[in-house]
Amino acid sequence: MQKLFESDVKGRQALEIFLESFDLSLDQDIEKTYVKKSSDGKIIATGSIAKNVLKSIAVDKHYQGSSLINEMVSYLMEECYQMGETHLFIYTKPESYKAFEFLGFKKITETNRVVLMENKINGFQDFLKNIKDKELTSPSAGIVLNANPFTKGHYYLVKRASEENPWVHVFVVWENQSTFSNVERYNLVSKGLKDLKNVSIHKGLNYIISAATFPSYFISGKDEVIKEQTKLDLKLFGDKIAPSLGINKRYVGKEPFNNTTAKYNETMKKVLPDYGIEVIEIERKKIEDQIISASTVRRLIYEGDLEKLKCLVPKSTFEYLKSPASQGVINKIKKDYNEKKLV
Amino acid sequence: MGKLRRTMMYVPGNNPAMLTDAGIYGADSLMFDLEDSVALNQKDSARLLVYQMIKNNNYAQEVVVRINSLESDLGATDIEAMVRAGVDVIRLPKTETAEDVKKVENIIESVEKKIGIEIGHTKIMAAIEGPLGVINAYDIATASKRLIGIAIGAEDFVTSMKTKRSKSGVELLAARSQLVLAARAANIAALDTVFSNIDDSDGFKEEVKLIKSLGFDGKSVINPRQINLVHEIYKPTDAEIEDAKQIVYTIKEAEAKGSGVISLNGQMIDKPIVERAKRVLELSGLSEEVM
Amino acid sequence: MKINKEAIAGTLESSDIQITISKNHLIKNTIYLESPVKHLYEVAIKKVIMNTLEKHQITNANVKAIDQGALDCTIIARTQSAIYRATEKKEINWEAID
């Protein structure tokens, strides 16, 4: 087994060609790729890892009877475990998912082009069980927030839903790929929504806008890829998560800035009604004619403009940003901004 | 004379399928590898696997385990595990000096004492894979009573010599010759290196003929197909077998009669001739029948 | 021995068994097994794994075993390896290994 390095241009080209014959490609979020070659140097098998997701796995059909797929999956799993990732997912095509069942993976959901599987036998079931352990009031509304950090805009969205529905379920995106950590974001969301009595807050974990269901949210990719992933994420939400909580409405703020999120929202409006879920898109709250966005808030944090900041975030978030506990994330924001990375 | 070691089959230590099947191919010895064929992050797992395999399976052949070098922590733990498992021979990679061998011996002895088995039960084989080792070959070969053989590891050797392997094998000539010389002077086995191109049987046969001429006892093999090829080449011709039988029968008769000097066809039969005859019979599998 | 982290040992290749060990919140060990010979050997395979766990004084393991026709000695070796990785123990306890 050989690791395929970023700088190995020829190798990557050969791999792209190999993958194309399976109608696969290397997604942008892939971190590691491995190939196995025959004695005359031809690629006969490949597999890649993107955080805790195994994808772009393919074996040359002349070798398909052999245990190459077993070898590849074992190897990838071992790599993931070494990196501390033990809850693993597989992205594969509907035609090939059976092979992975024998390797201990269980199907969670599928679209007509992708099957999502995980290695924890009751992973998804346990997730559904845990979010349901509070009293169920149905029907209810669902909102998915990244909240990086929690702003008045977020509050406004949730408040609106809580006024229009008996109950609201807020899911916090759990992937740790944002400036504020998932724990920080969750805490700010909790504190910020404390006064709303009909709201429960859940961790999205691996099942809502995650590296497994929608990696393009974090690292953008080609449009068709975004579309496929969006369909998968929404299917899991509409087909399994929403029904188990009695959610029949999903609230979302209009997205003027981010292309991927805008596309996601567009697809959501088309797809969720098929699951009996109404999508309610709300205009973003404005303060002094400026849309409140988390990215604006981060910029203000960088600039240290406390006055403006106070207008855009609720007291709970503001208090946190003044406290010593937020020193870490504030330094991170400053660093990111100085390096001119998109904050 | 000693044990036949025409073929030593190399088996990657982290592969249960190959470890289980290793014995069925007819090699004279088996070598389970914990070193280069096992990824660093699997060394712990491979060690336990080979341990359980040796402990629980009755291999008919001699079982050798190639441990990791003592430079890391791995080597010492490998030795403890393998001695406890009851391995026949510990093979030390990249041996450069007699001291390397003595270090291994010390660890083996302390484990044998700890678990209460016969001191000296576990043997050692030294793989020489670099120029310094070749130069020290005789010292290495005589470094311990447990040392039953020395082997040449060509890949690493050729790299240290800043050259490459070729069909003629000229780059290995000095090393091979030195190794056989040392082994013979020390009265232990000399084993040749692996031939990795399993599809080139002609090239393989050439190499086996070469090392047989040089006096090697045998060769490491990585594929069952190679085993038969080696055994074929190491097999004496019918004429050689006949001659050998004659010599041995003559000796037996002479011993029965109590004769002193023995001759056959006008030629004196002295010890080297007898040894060689016995060797021929051994290689043809006729030792029991004739002797 | 205490399980510190989730660990995996062995591969999915023929004659091998892949063992994953994590902590469960019970006071007993649980084993989930997939095997091509499950219908014949499920009890036997689980017994081997259970014995190995008990010999190493593990009482709260959640074990997932994906078998590809492994012999007992392989099952034992892989389970032991997973135990050592999960408990992060460096020293081998030879009495228990036997």
pLDDT digits (tens, 9 = 90+) for A242-276: 999 999 999 999 887 788 888 899 999 999 999 99
pLDDT of residue B273: 84
Confidence of residue B1 (pLDDT cuts 50, 70, 90): very low
Write down the H helix ranges in B40-90. Answer: 43-56, 73-85
Higher pLDDT, A75 or B250: A75
Question: Do the chains contact at B199 and A39, CB–CB below 8 Å?
Answer: yes
Note whether A78 contacts B199, CB cutoff 8 Å. no
In the prediction, which pLDDT does A232 show?
93
8 Å CB contact of C64 and A67: no
In this structure, are residues A250 and A280 in contact, taking their beta carbons and an 8 Å threshold?
A: yes
Q: State which amino acid sits at residue B160.
A: S
> CATH number of the domain at A126-338, please?
3.40.50.620
Higher pLDDT, C30 or B196: C30
CA gap A74, A77 in Å, rounded: 5
> Inter-chain contact A86–C6, Cβ cutoff 8 Å?
yes
Residue A343 has pLDDT above 60, yes or no: no
Residues of B in contact with A36 (CB under 8 A): none
Question: Which burial class, exposed, middle or buried, applies to A37 when counting CB atoms under 10 A from its CB (0-12, 13-18, 19+)?
Answer: middle
DSSP state of C92: -
pLDDT value of residue C34? 94
| B31-40, B147-156, B221-230, B280-289: least confident range | B280-289
- Is this complex's ipTM strictly greater than 0.85? yes
Mean pLDDT over A148-173 rounds to: 95
Statement: residue B83 has pLDDT above 70? yes
In whole angstroms, what is the distance from residue B148 CA to residue A67 CA?
Answer: 38
- Domains, chain B, in order of start with CATH, read 7-233 (3.20.20.60), 238-290 (no CATH)
Give the phi and the psi of residue A25 in degrees, each rounded to 5: -150, 175
Which residues are CB-neighbours of B161 under 8 A, at least 6 positions away?
A: B131, B171
Average pLDDT over residues B137-152: 97
Please state the φ and ψ torsions of residue B243, each to the nearest 5 degrees. -55, -45
pLDDT confidence of residue B181: 96
Residue of B nearest to C14 (CA): B17
Question: C51 at the B interface (CB within 8 A)?
Answer: no
The overall average pLDDT reported for chain C is 94
Higher pLDDT, B244 or B97: B97
pLDDT at B28: 94
Please tell me whether residue B237 adopts helix, strand or coil conformation. Answer: coil
Q: Could you tell me which residues come within 8 angstroms of residue A342 by beta carbon, excluding any fewer than 6 positions away?
A: none
Record the tokens describing residue B251, joined without a space: 């000796």
B84 touches chain C (CB under 8 A): yes
Across the range A289-312, mean pLDDT stands at: 88
Percent of chain B with pLDDT over 70: 99
Classified as helix, coil or strand, A332 is helix
Cα–Cα distances in Å, from B259 out to A188, B290, C78? 105, 20, 63
Phi, psi (rounded to 5 degrees) for A107? -70, 135
Across the interface, do B41 and A78 touch by the CB < 8 Å criterion?
yes
**Residues in contact with B224: Cβ distance below 8 Å, sequence separation at least 6, in sequence order:** B9, B25, B26, B27
Contacts B42 to A, Cβ<8 Å:
78
Instruction: Please check the confidence at residue B67 and state whether its pLDDT lies above 90.
Output: yes
Mean pLDDT in residue range A52-64: 91
Give the mean model confidence (pLDDT) for residues A84-112.
92
| Pairing state between β A89-92 and A53-59 | parallel
CB atoms under 10 Å from CB of A313, counted, come to: 26
Is B49 near chain C, with CB under 8 Å?
Answer: yes
- Residues in chain B with CB shorter than 8 Å from the CB of C11 are 14
DSSP-assigned beta bridge partners for residue A141:
A168, A249
- Residue B281 pLDDT > 70: yes
Helix B173-186 / helix B201-214 crossing angle, nearest 10 deg: 50
Interior angle at CA B229, CA B223 and CA B234, nearest 5: 125
The mean pLDDT value for A130-137 works out to 75
Q: Where in chain A is the domain with CATH 3.40.50.620?
A: 126-338
Contact C8 A71 (CB under 8 A): no
Fold exhibited by the domain C7-87: Ribosomal Protein S5; domain 2 (3.30.230)
Indicate whether A137 pLDDT > 90.
no
What tokens appear for C78 in the block?
């892989």
Q: Write out chain C residues lying below 8 Å of B116, CB-based.
A: none
Region of poorest pLDDT, from A164-173, C64-73, C89-98: C89-98
CATH superfamily entry for domain A2-121: Gcn5-related N-acetyltransferase (GNAT) (3.40.630.30)
Smallest Cβ–Cβ distance between A102 and the set C10, C22, C34 belongs to C34
B to C CB pairs, distance under 8 Å: 53
Res A134: pLDDT = 64
Angle (CA) B75 B76 B79, round 5°: 90
Contact assessment for residue A253 and residue A157, using Cβ atoms and an 8 Å cutoff: yes
Domain ranges of chain C: 7-87
> Which pLDDT belongs to residue B251?
84
Split at pLDDT 50, 70, 90, the class of B2 is low
* Residue C26 in contact with partner chain B when CB distance is under 8 A: no
Q: Name the pTM for this structure.
A: 0.86
Highest mean pLDDT among A254-258, B153-157, B166-170, B211-215: B211-215
Q: Provide the pLDDT for residue A135.
A: 64
Nearest Cβ partner of B16 from C16, C85, C94? C16
Size of interface A-B (CB pairs under 8 A): 4
User: Over chain A, what is the mean pLDDT?
Assistant: 90
